């Protein structure tokens, strides 16, 4: 057995196996470096896409917040207008009710001229 390992052909075979092993190790190292480089590139792209998505989400939330605040402001103005209009109508109703109570013809079955004018003010 030892004689077979010390022969010239065995040395060539062992040398060839070592050379093949070294070539395989080199190929494996190159493959792994390439794989890691591609994986790192993919991770960078995913991170970039996530950052872009977060940025887009933040911009959309900001836009929605601004739109909601503007709508609230418009709503507040409209509510104030409606309340002022309501107050004005309530004052008119009170004035007309006072005028109706003071009308000497309030008990008649027909409408008097002041009664017609009061009705027309409501329209």
Give the residue extent of every domain in the chain: 8-103+110-122
Q: What is the pLDDT of residues 42-76, one digit of tens each?
A: 999 999 999 999 999 999 999 999 999 999 999 99
Q: What is the pLDDT of residues 19-46, one digit of tens each?
A: 999 999 999 999 989 889 999 999 999 9
pTM of the entire structure?
0.50
Secondary structure of residue 17 in the 3-state scheme: helix
Which residue, 62, 67, 86, 61, is CA-closest to 75?
67
CA 53/CA 50 separation, integer angstroms: 5
Rounded (10°) CA dihedral 39, 41, 45, 48 = 120
Q: Name the DSSP class of 123.
A: -
108 pLDDT exceeds 80? no
CA atoms within 13 A on the CB side of 4: 2
Secondary structure of residue 1 in the 3-state scheme: coil
């Amino acid at each position: 057995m030892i004689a077979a390992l010390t022969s010239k052909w065995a040395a060539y075979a062992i040398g060839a196996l070592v050379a093949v092993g070294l070539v395989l190790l080199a190929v494996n190292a190159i493959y792994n470096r390439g794989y890691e480089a591609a994986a790192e590139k993919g991770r960078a792209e995913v991170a970039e896409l996530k950052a872009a998505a977060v940025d887009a989400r933040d911009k959309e939330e900001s836009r929605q917040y601004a739109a909601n605040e503007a709508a609230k402001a418009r709503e507040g103005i409209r509510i104030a207008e409606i309340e002022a209009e309501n107050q004005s109508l309530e004052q008119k109703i009170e004035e007309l009710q006072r005028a109706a109570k003071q009308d000497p013809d309030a008990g008649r079955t027909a409408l008097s001229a002041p009664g017609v004018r009061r009705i027309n003010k409501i329209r």
